[in-house]
Amino acid sequence: MAQYTFTMLLQTLILLPTITSSTLITTGGNITFPVPDLSLIGNLYSHWEYLGDDTFDLTRSVSLPTTTPLTIPMSGTRKSAIIEPSRSALVLIDMQNFFLHPEINPVAEAGRKAVEPMLKTIHAFRAKGMKILWVNWGLDGRDLLTIPPAYLDGFSGTAHSPLATFDSDMGTLNDSTPIGKFLMRDSWNARPYGPLYGEQVGGVKNGTDLYFHKNRMSGLWGTQTPLGLWLEENQMTTLFFGGVNTDQCV
């Protein structure tokens, strides 16, 4: 019985997509495809094709449809990549008043300098039909029930106080604008900073952009986050990251 199930599974996997010139190398597991083409790295559902000369095809076109793939230069050891725009997106992390506004975070000079280049990047992505995904802190009441004390204390800095962390009232700016509750959803401090706010609101309205609230350092701490679910459901395979602390807050 076990052997029968296994055979069926193999057949399903092989018949499902249209594999034409080649099949794929898997990196492990029980199912190994024949290996006529060593340029394919990965498995049927997620693979790169190495085209030589440090150029990589990231479109997964063996198993997924393509529209008008784009070739993009890269600055690292890999020279260029080919991407499928309908499965690529720009993820913008934490470019919020809380992290970038001069009255709230005076030291974030570099972050404020990133705003202009980011606006250009956003426009370039939209022009190629690629989605902009705003991924920002935005806690709601339910999140406060499950957020670990380590987060609450960590965000309170040296105060170690519930009056200086998530959900506490942050007072007003010099011009009396209410800052709102610390990184709570829909507060002024949780909005994108400066001209990014108008871009986000307009982009979401136009349908070119999507907005995802984070309730942990990462917006991808499980596939059940709003961002994780959207990426899976839409078969996104290629992501570009920009914003604040993209080494740790993605």
Residue 109 binding ligand NAG, by CB under 6 A = no
Q: How many helices (H) and strands (E) does the chain have?
A: 8, 9
Site string for ligand NAG, 204-223 (x = CB under 6 A): --x-x---------------
Q: CA-to-CA distance for 153 and 208, rounded, in angstroms?
A: 37
Residues 6+ apart with CB under 8 A from 27: 42, 43
Residue 202 binding ligand NAG, by CB under 6 A = yes
Residue 199 binding ligand NAG, by CB under 6 A = yes
Using CB atoms within 10 Å of the CB of residue 243, give its burial: 0 to 12 exposed, 13 to 18 middle, 19+ buried: buried
- C-beta of 68 vs 206, nearer to ligand NAG: 206
Compute φ and ψ for 188, nearest 5 degrees.
-60, -40
- C-beta of 103 vs 169, nearer to ligand NAG: 103
Cβ 206 to ligand NAG shortest distance, Å: 4
Among 42, 69, 102, 226, binds ligand NAG (CB under 6 A): 102
Q: CA-to-CA distance for 50 and 18, rounded, in angstroms?
A: 20
- C-beta of 17 vs 202, nearer to ligand NAG: 202
Contact 186, 97 (CB under 8 A): no
The stretch among 160-168, 179-187, 195-203, 222-230 that binds ligand NAG (CB under 6 A) is 195-203
What is the edge-to-edge ordering of all strands in the sheet holding 209-214? Answer: 209-214, 131-137, 88-93, 238-243
Cβ 97 to ligand NAG shortest distance, Å: 12
Among 5, 18, 158, 174, binds ligand NAG (CB under 6 A): 174
Residues 6+ apart with CB under 8 A from 114: 95, 242, 243
Residue 103 binding ligand NAG, by CB under 6 A = yes
Residue 27 binding ligand NAG, by CB under 6 A = no
Cβ 16 to ligand NAG shortest distance, Å: 38
Q: Which residue has the tokens 């499928």?
A: 84
Binding-site ranges for ligand NAG (CB under 6 A)? 102-103, 174, 199, 202-203, 206, 208
